[in-house]
Amino acid sequence: MKLCSFFFSTILLATNIVFGNENNFTEKAFDQSNTLSGKVYIDMDHNSILSTNDTGLQGTRVFAYEDVNKNGLLDDSDRKVGTTETDANGDYTFDIPAITAHTSRTKIAASSDDAVQNEPGGIMILDSESEPGIREIGLRFLDLDIPQGAKIASASLKISIAHHAGEFIEIIVKGQASDNPSTFTNQEYNIGNRPRTQITADFYSSVTPNEFQELEIDGIEAIIQEIIDRPGWEEGNALVLIIADFFADMYMFDGGFPAELIINYEDQSDVTYIVTPDLSSVDPVYQLSSEQYQLVTVAINGERNNIDFGFNQPVISSTDLTINELNQATMEIWPKPTTGPINILLNGIQLDQNFSVNVFSINGKLVTTEKINIGSNNQAHCNLSSLSKGTYIVQLTDGSSFFSDKVILQ
């Protein structure tokens, strides 16, 4: 049976998921979550900083990706792990399932990855079945997707033996103390000359004499831990286990019964995400005033807030008022809330000219615009009673500078 990788979007619907093929696959369990949150807002004062004057942008889609290759860029190798929309206040939240518990199952995949070294003489045999006598058996497992420093919860080795004279068997297991060991060759003592781990595991079990049977050798997690704790260990490396002083016959890869290594481990590494708004969900009159992509790193079961994205308001129409003059001015709107009529006061300058008043819905859609005259008393009047009840953004602009305020229509 061949196991296929699911698309990562399945993660949000499943407790466990399987990646890999029939010789090497990993089952991942999602038993914790990471929380990402922030706001998409209209940058009322164009300072690219979320402030009390800014208004949330409702209905904006936001995407979260896992930065799989940790290069800080959104590329084809990254996985989308969440899609959400901002609420009426422009806020959004992701609760992303976090992978912590893993089960890695790896089988011998080639003839040269299991071998027998007979004694005396250290003669190497790459064959389908070992023979009785004192020997060492080498087993090389490829492409282990275990990160350096992961916590090994348990580990076992499944082998198939052809027969054994007694009713009890003793097996001694060691590991090769190397970061990424090479495959076996016919060179004498190719197993015996390999460096060994400091930790050894002794396995005792009752067996049925002279019958084919499968054994699962457990208790080897300390050996695996020593190997993957090596400074030079990297995810995707190979690992060699050595069965020493073995007296039973054992089937090998060519005999159709490859050995299998099963490792249960926990990965508590930080996770890096890339968060970005979907620009197609925002009215095109708005221009992003912040970075489009934000890179955040979160510890397992951690939380990251204030991942915010600002959009500048559009500027419509034009007059002859200078920027320096407008920089000295402030705008007031009253009453708040209103049933429709509003008063606009522009303080700080003396003028008598036309402006544009643009009214936007809370999700950024321009709903109405009109020309008004700011008279010598610096005041003007508008009526919003034709609009539906709700929250609006009123923008006063001369085409190059503007003033904005939020109004609730009752």
CATH number at residue 37: 2.60.40.10
In a domain, 262, yes or no: no
Contact between residue 281 and residue 59 where contact means Cβ atoms under 8 Å apart: yes
Cα 81 to Cα 67: distance, rounded to the nearest angstrom: 10
Is the same domain home to 95 and 213?
Answer: no
In a domain, 56, yes or no: yes
* Residue 91 confidence (pLDDT): 96
Dmax (CA) of the chain:
111
Contact between residue 270 and residue 297 where contact means Cβ atoms under 8 Å apart: yes
* Residue 182 confidence (pLDDT): 95
In a domain, 261, yes or no: no
Strand locations in 108-232 (E): 114-118, 123-125, 135-141, 151-161, 168-175, 201-206, 213-218
Contact between residue 168 and residue 205 where contact means Cβ atoms under 8 Å apart: yes
Is the same domain home to 307 and 368?
Answer: no
H/E run at residue 30: strand 24-43
In a domain, 1, yes or no: no
* Residue 245 confidence (pLDDT): 61
DSSP designation for 5: P
Is the same domain home to 296 and 250?
Answer: no
Cα 256 to Cα 129: distance, rounded to the nearest angstrom: 10
Contact between residue 133 and residue 118 where contact means Cβ atoms under 8 Å apart: yes
Is the same domain home to 139 and 196?
Answer: yes
* Residue 318 confidence (pLDDT): 37
Distance from the Cα of residue 171 to its chain's centroid: 41
* Residue 406 confidence (pLDDT): 82
From 256, 279, 296, give the residue that closes a domain.
Answer: 256
Q: What is the pLDDT of residues 337-352, one digit of tens each?
A: 899 999 888 776 555 6
Is the same domain home to 234 and 329?
Answer: no
pLDDT beneath 70: ranges in the chain: 1-32, 99-100, 119-134, 163-165, 245-248, 254-255, 268, 313-329, 348-353, 363-364, 376, 398-401
Instruction: Report the number of distinct structural domains present in the chain.
Output: 3
CATH code, domain carrying 383: 2.60.40.3080
Is the same domain home to 341 and 374?
Answer: yes
Is the same domain home to 127 and 249?
Answer: yes
* Residue 14 confidence (pLDDT): 33
Cα 3 to Cα 24: distance, rounded to the nearest angstrom: 9
Is the same domain home to 61 and 172?
Answer: no
Is the same domain home to 128 and 226?
Answer: yes
Is the same domain home to 164 and 238?
Answer: yes
CA distance to 11, 110, 113, 193, 222, per residue, from 70 (Å)? 20, 32, 32, 38, 29
Cα 373 to Cα 375: distance, rounded to the nearest angstrom: 6
Q: What is the pTM of this model?
A: 0.53
Token representation of residue 349 = 């300058």
* Residue 6 confidence (pLDDT): 25
In a domain, 263, yes or no: no
Contact between residue 163 and residue 179 where contact means Cβ atoms under 8 Å apart: no
* Residue 127 confidence (pLDDT): 54
In a domain, 234, yes or no: yes
H/E run at residue 228: helix 221-228
Cα 314 to Cα 364: distance, rounded to the nearest angstrom: 10
Contact between residue 42 and residue 287 where contact means Cβ atoms under 8 Å apart: no
Is the same domain home to 214 and 274?
Answer: no
Contact between residue 161 and residue 207 where contact means Cβ atoms under 8 Å apart: yes
* Residue 329 confidence (pLDDT): 65
Is the same domain home to 201 and 222?
Answer: yes
Q: Report the SS3 class of residue 254.
A: helix
What range does the domain containing 210 cover? 109-256
* Residue 391 confidence (pLDDT): 84
* Phi–psi pair at 254, nearest 5 degrees: -70, -20
In a domain, 146, yes or no: yes
In a domain, 2, yes or no: no
